[in-house]
């Protein structure tokens, strides 16, 4: 008889030493999780708590040199909350996030539905092409779009000009009224593939029988989408909203590469403010940490609101 690899449970008593070494399932679970827990503590929890510590202390170059950080209580928070530039940065961040996340959600669902159509032969190519922007590093993305938007030589103006849609070039990122939205487009271009992937994966999980039943009942495409697809996509939409909102709140690279906060303060966003406070002269790291914490609190509150509102409705 061939050995089929079925484990044989021996009825013989285990040696006493082996019995002593065998861990209970609970202890084994803890032991197996310890490396992950230790890694996450080191690379995630420690910086987060250390940033909280810094936000309550005066930390600039002189303090870093001395190695002594005087406790200042809520002073750093008081300073940023009374700084009009920080409040403007928060407002700009909210506008940027609302604009980019809304567009991203709508486009992600629409494009995922399109590439889900198996009878369209270009679907596979489209799926591959859609993923490409996700492979572009954020800074490179910002630089690419700087050329796209360039006032004198940019492709965007050239295309619009060629089609007769404009008669004079538009200064997309140099005009304070368009700069923030112009900044959102490259960000969307870079992050949209991730959202499409998630929605597309969720679409694969919807049973075709539901659509067949709806067909028999005479439901049209719009009704099928509204009463079957959308409700079943809600969990993934909630996940995408939480992820994309938190990432949009932390947008930085495109700002660095394209506008550096300008023109004027039109594209000062919260992460740019934290960066400028912490890593540009005079390196006020305590204030920068406090601003990052305020940002984290806002993102946390919005994430809780999403989960509460959307998940509750699902349940």
Partner 1 sequence: MNSSSSAARLKTDGICEYPIQWVAGVGLEQLPGTWYQMTWNRGGVFFDKAGNHQLGEGSTARETLKWWVATFAQGLADPESLRVQFTTSAKAFSAGKNIYRGPNHHYGLNIVNDPAQSPIAGKVKVHASPGDGRTIGDTHVYFLCSANRDRDWAWKLLQYLGGRSQDGRYTQAENLARAAMLGSGYKSVMTSAAVTDGWKPWGDPDKILEIWNNATYVGEICNSVYKPWHFPWTDRLNIEVQKALTGQISADQCCDNVIAAIKDVQRS
- The reply to whether 49 sits near partner 1 by the rule CB under 8 A is no
In the complex, the smallest distance separating the C-beta of residue 283 from partner 1, rounded to whole angstroms, is 9
List the Cα angle 107/303/179 in 5-degree steps.
50
Strand partners, 57: 71
Number of residues that bind partner 1 (CB under 8 A): 26
Maximum CA extent, the chain: 90
- Looking at the Cβ atoms of 33 and 260, the one nearer to partner 1 is 260
In 3-state terms, what secondary structure has residue 258? helix
Alpha helices in 172-269 (DSSP H): 179-204, 208-216, 221-224, 230-249, 253-254
In the complex, the smallest distance separating the C-beta of residue 130 from partner 1, rounded to whole angstroms, is 30
- The reply to whether 282 sits near partner 1 by the rule CB under 8 A is yes
- Interface residue with partner 1 among 174, 247, 252, 307 (CB under 8 A) is 174
- The reply to whether 138 sits near partner 1 by the rule CB under 8 A is no
Residue span binding partner 1 (CB under 8 A) among the ranges 8-16, 31-39, 91-99, 261-269: 261-269
* CA distance linking residue 86 with residue 288, whole number of Å: 11
In the complex, the smallest distance separating the C-beta of residue 166 from partner 1, rounded to whole angstroms, is 15
Q: Are 96 and 271 within 8 A, CB to CB?
A: no
For residues 175 to 194, the per-residue mask of contacts with partner 1, x marking binding by CB under 8 A and - elsewhere, is xx------------------
What DSSP character marks residue 83? -
SS (H, E, C) 94-118: HHHHHHHHHHHHHHHHHHHHHHCCC
- The reply to whether 173 sits near partner 1 by the rule CB under 8 A is yes
- The reply to whether 79 sits near partner 1 by the rule CB under 8 A is yes
- Interface with partner 1 (CB under 8 A): 65, 79, 85, 146, 150-153, 171, 173-176, 258-265, 268, 276, 280-282
């Amino acid at each position: 008889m061939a050995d089929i690899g079925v484990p044989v449970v021996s009825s013989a008593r285990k040696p006493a030493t082996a019995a002593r070494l065998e861990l209970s399932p609970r202890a084994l679970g803890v032991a197996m999780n310890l490396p992950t827990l230790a890694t996450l503590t080191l690379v995630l929890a420690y910086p987060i708590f250390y940033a909280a510590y810094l936000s309550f202390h005066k930390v600039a170059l002189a303090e870093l040199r001395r190695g002594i950080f005087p406790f200042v209580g809520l002073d750093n928070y008081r300073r940023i909350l009374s700084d009009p530039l920080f409040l403007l940065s928060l407002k700009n961040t909210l506008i940027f996030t609302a604009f980019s996340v809304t567009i991203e959600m709508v486009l992600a669902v629409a494009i995922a539905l399109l590439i889900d159509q198996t009878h369209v032969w270009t679907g596979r190519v489209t799926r591959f092409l859609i993923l490409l922007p996700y492979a572009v590093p954020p800074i490179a993305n910002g630089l690419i779009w700087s050329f796209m938007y360039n006032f004198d030589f940019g492709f965007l103006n050239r295309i619009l000009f060629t089609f007769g849609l404009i008669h004079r070039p538009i200064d997309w990122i140099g005009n304070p009224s368009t700069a923030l939205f112009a900044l959102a487009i490259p960000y969307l271009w870079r992050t949209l593939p991730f959202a499409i992937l998630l929605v597309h994966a969720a679409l694969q999980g919807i049973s075709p029988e539901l659509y067949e039943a709806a067909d028999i009942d005479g439901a049209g495409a719009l009704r099928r989408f509204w009463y079957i697809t959308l409700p079943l996509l809600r969990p993934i939409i909630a996940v995408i909203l939480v992820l994309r909102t938190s990432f949009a709140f932390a947008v930085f690279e495109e700002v660095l590469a394209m506008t550096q906060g300008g023109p004027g303060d039109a594209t000062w966003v919260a992460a740019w403010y934290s960066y400028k406070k912490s890593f540009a002269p005079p390196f006020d790291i305590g204030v920068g940490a406090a601003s990052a914490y305020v940002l984290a609190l806002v993102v946390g509150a919005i994430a809780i609101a999403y989960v509460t509102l959307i998940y509750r409705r699902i349940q």
